[in-house]
Structure 1
Amino acid sequence: MAEEHSSTNPMEQALDSFNQVQIGDIVEAEVLSIDDGQLVVGIDNSGVEGVVPLKELTADRKADIHDLAHVGDKLELLVVRPSASDKEDGSFILSKRRIENKKAYEKMAAIKDNDETVTGKVTGTVKSGLLVDINGLRGFIPASMISDHFVRDLNPYVGKELTLKVIEVNRAKNRLVLSHKEIDAEQKSAKQAEVFAKILPGDVLEAKVSRLTNFGAFIDLGGVDGLVHISQISYQHIDKPSDVLQPGQDVKVKVLDVDKERGRISLSIKATQPGPWETVAEKISVGDEVDGTIRRLTDFGAFVEVLPGVEGLVHVSQISWDRVNKPSDVLKVGQKVHMKVLNVEPDKRRLGLSIKALINNPHESKKPKEAASPEPSNYKLPDEERGFSLGDIIGNNKLNK
């Protein structure tokens, strides 16, 4: 029996060792040399050598292989396939990266099962969402799962680290889907509570414009948006907020109202600026001729803007020498008119104007049939709108889409 054992061919022993290594095995191996962008390794207890190409060490194709491994290092490797060419010194191609990938997917599955969160860095964008890196594992955040509101521009997220929920893990398809939506909502809720606890009506704050709508501008107050209604942007009439503001612009705002129950903060930009009525007396006097634009029509007259933020009243009796039943019969909003100043009362924000005073009276020789209607002494400009409704916000989201 001893003679039979001693006669065993060394080649047969090598083949027996070779057959012990199977595709899919996870083996321990020692780095024997580093050559041509690959590691030559010896698989422990087998007498078999293999190679680990750079792409099987890391996903970073620009990495220096000498920074990743050194001769004598012990590595845990996956046997991928048999060597297919002379350039691939050794019997098998092995991979370190695939083992790490497998472990990473297993970790993500455990995180999902335990309803935990993970931190990932946004590496890029695609049309439908964000690409993220989580310790070398690539994941995807669909656009609908980035925030609790529609995000038009994805680029500001690139380079940021986000806390994420794991939505789907599928290693067979290399698919890892994540969401920041729930985290974003939680963070906003916490920030909202913090902001509402320290902001009071009357406060004047420095802030930035976050986004614009047709009805106003949303201002970032530190993670919570307040609204400057279009009527509170400027004393001067503006058609739309984008005519005078742009996202990212620094502005000074005054807090008009804080509604904690509805989660609304109403702001004003113009309230931080000198009022136009403060200098009216220096610019306009009784008897002056002025030009203006009709902004509103009422049953008793026309409100005309003669200076930015300053509107005067042309009473119905001061429109024409002919009888006028309704101002809208002879005037229209947006019309330019030339007028004479009848009275100036800056403290009451009243300015009396007349169109007919600059026109010759065709009935001068005729006796008036009836007295003119008295001018109202208690009129006031319509109340300015403050705040915003849920419908405003929904409408804005539809507009952005």
Structure 2
Amino acid sequence: MSENSVNPETMADALKSVHQVKVGDVVKGEVLAIEDKQLTVGIENSGVEGVVPLKELSTQPIDDIHNEAKVGDELDLVVISTIGKDKENGQYLLSKRRLEAQKVWADIQKEYEAGHTVMAPVTQVVKGGLVVNAGVRGFVPASMVADHFVEDLSQYKGQELEFKIIEIDPAENRLILSHRAVLEASKAEARKEIFNKLSVGDVIEGKVARLTNFGAFVDLGGVDGLVHVSEISFDHVNKPSDVLKAGQEVTVKVLNLDPEKNRISLSIKAALPEPWTNIEDKAAAGSVLEGKVRRLTSFGAFVEVFPGVEGLVHISQISHEHIATPADVLKEGQDVKVKVLSVDPDAHRLALSIKALTEAPEGASEENNQPRRNNNERSNNRGGRGRRGEGSNNHTKIPAEYQQEDNGFSLGDILGDALKDANKN
């Protein structure tokens, strides 16, 4: 046999080894050339070439095509279409990305069936939710991002989060994920643990998670408890955001636990020292303090001298001159200086005076400082108790803590001439 002759058996074997390439086939391709936007590959055992566009190289973003392959590399590819009409010498459009995606979909399907979660970075914030890269494109509806309303979703861009698979349909490239479900499951477990170890009265550390108009939610370690605005401070608080900020560490006391409703009521002020502690040192009799008028009544003004500590300035202690009502000379929110007449720590009572800090005008008398009742009030009380609803119901109601006679002024001082009239009648 001459050197130029061809062995029939060798030719037959070669022809058998060449197979026809069809769309959908998974093939091996050897990288023959690398351009900026594509690879040229030789399809194994086919005698034909194909191209892999840059976007079909990977499920991940590509900065430089040369980092993905080099000449001589063998790649697993899937045939996605033909290029041109010359079947003998025609080229094929190939994809490495779609082959990877098929494997990713298969893996995600297994995780879904097993009830597992997946980790994925947030790549985009779009109208209605988040787009994530789970190897394939996944979508998180806005309602499934968190366990509370989030106004600005842009804070999640770039974050890698854990998701529960809600819906999967590889044929439609549809993957719906939920981060909220992961948070709720985690909190349910943490809540169970928290409720088992917490008791009413416990004082614990927490972190302000978020603020609302009615209070602050404090994270106790995966579970939030509510500090109502009235429980933030002994001082008056208009808005929680005036005194607290998200992320702030706080000490709280457990007021109530309701496992059935998953509610924990907390207090910041209850974990603080009691405001009346050592009040006899802070507000000793004879001392002068600065305060703010908090409430006005017919019999006097309540002045806050320390957060959570109010004292009574009886109407007879407001001015050297006679006044009909405290509102004639004072208003709520007004800053005043007061002198402590007496202090009773056990009864949480302070007797205060404004007029003691001012000089009495010439000719002023104590009698002018007592509240007087008009003739109609006097006539209504004549004849004893009278009909039901008359008589005693016309007396000014005094808070219980001030209905004693050792507070720097007597009960008669509080009631003024009203008590004298009652005795006459």
Aligned to 1:79: 80
Instruction: Please report the TM-score for the alignment, with normalisation by the length of structure 1.
Output: 0.74
Partners of 2:356 and 2:344 lie apart in 1 by 19
User: CA 1:140–1:45 in structure 2 vs 1: closer, same or farther (change >3 Å)?
Assistant: same
Aligned to 1:313: 312
8 A Cα contact 1:40 1:90, kept in partner: no
Q: Which residue identity is paired with 2:141?
A: P
8 A Cα contact 1:39 1:53, kept in partner: yes
User: CA 1:335–1:115 in structure 2 vs 1: closer, same or farther (change >3 Å)?
Assistant: farther
Aligned to 2:147: 148
Partners of 1:268 and 1:369 lie apart in 2 by 41
User: CA 1:75–1:44 in structure 2 vs 1: closer, same or farther (change >3 Å)?
Assistant: same
- Alignment map for 1:283-362 (pairs within 5 Å): 283-298=282-297, 300-319=299-318, 322=322, 324=324, 331-358=330-357, 360=360
User: CA 1:166–1:354 in structure 2 vs 1: closer, same or farther (change >3 Å)?
Assistant: same
Q: Specify every segment of 5 or more residues in structure 1 that has no aligned partner in the other structure, as ranges.
A: 1-9, 381-401
8 A Cα contact 1:145 1:181, kept in partner: yes
- Range with greater deviation from structure 2 (27-36 or 365-374): 365-374
8 A Cα contact 1:108 1:166, kept in partner: no
Partners of 2:67 and 2:138 lie apart in 1 by 28
What secondary structure is seen at the aligned counterpart in 2 of 1:147?
coil
Residue 32 (structure 1) shift: 4.6
User: CA 1:261–1:273 in structure 2 vs 1: closer, same or farther (change >3 Å)?
Assistant: same
Residue 341 (structure 1) shift: 2.0
Aligned to 1:167: 167
Aligned to 2:46: 46
Q: Which residue identity is paired with 2:205?
A: E
Question: Higher RCO, 1 or 2 (CA under 8 Å, sep at least 6)?
Answer: 1
Residue 195 (structure 1) shift: 0.9
Aligned to 1:378: 401
8 A Cα contact 1:293 1:304, kept in partner: yes
Partners of 2:29 and 2:372 lie apart in 1 by 113
Residue 109 (structure 1) shift: 6.7
Partners of 1:156 and 1:60 lie apart in 2 by 19
Query: What do the CA deviations read for 1:284-323 (whole angstroms, capped 9, x no partner)?
Result: 2323343321223456543211123321122345445536
Aligned to 1:55: 55
Aligned to 1:212: 211
8 A Cα contact 1:32 1:72, kept in partner: yes
Q: Specify every segment of 5 or more residues in structure 2 that has no aligned partner in the other structure, as ranges.
A: 1-10, 374-394, 404-425
- Alignment map for 1:116-195 (pairs within 5 Å): 116-127=115-126, 128-134=128-134, 136-154=135-153, 155=155, 158-167=158-167, 169=169, 172=172, 174-195=173-194
8 A Cα contact 1:80 1:95, kept in partner: no
- Alignment map for 1:255-266 (pairs within 5 Å): 255-266=254-265
Aligned to 2:376: none
Residue 330 (structure 1) shift: 5.8
Partners of 1:374 and 1:182 lie apart in 2 by 56
Query: What do the CA deviations read for 1:115-147 (whole angstroms, capped 9, x no partner)?
Result: 94541312334154222221x212121221112
Residue 205 (structure 1) shift: 1.8
8 A Cα contact 1:315 1:375, kept in partner: no
Partners of 1:365 and 1:248 lie apart in 2 by 56
Partners of 1:168 and 1:151 lie apart in 2 by 25
- Range with greater deviation from structure 2 (26-35 or 142-151): 26-35
What secondary structure is seen at the aligned counterpart in 2 of 1:100?
helix
- Range with greater deviation from structure 2 (369-378 or 289-298): 369-378
Residue 377 (structure 1) shift: 4.8
Query: What do the CA deviations read for 1:1-56 (whole angstroms, capped 9, x no partner)?
Result: xxxxxxxxx9xx99xx79x434x332312315353355443324422111223432
What secondary structure is seen at the aligned counterpart in 2 of 1:193?
helix
Residue 74 (structure 1) shift: 5.2
What secondary structure is seen at the aligned counterpart in 2 of 1:185?
helix
8 A Cα contact 1:290 1:340, kept in partner: yes
Give the share of equivalent positions with the same residue, in percent.
45
User: CA 1:157–1:231 in structure 2 vs 1: closer, same or farther (change >3 Å)?
Assistant: farther
8 A Cα contact 1:252 1:272, kept in partner: yes
Instruction: Please report the TM-score for the alignment, with normalisation by the length of structure 2.
Output: 0.70
What secondary structure is seen at the aligned counterpart in 2 of 1:214?
coil
8 A Cα contact 2:84 2:90, kept in partner: yes
- Alignment map for 1:227-242 (pairs within 5 Å): 227-242=226-241
- Range with greater deviation from structure 2 (248-257 or 157-166): 157-166
8 A Cα contact 1:108 1:169, kept in partner: no
What secondary structure is seen at the aligned counterpart in 2 of 1:101?
helix
What secondary structure is seen at the aligned counterpart in 1 of 2:226?
strand
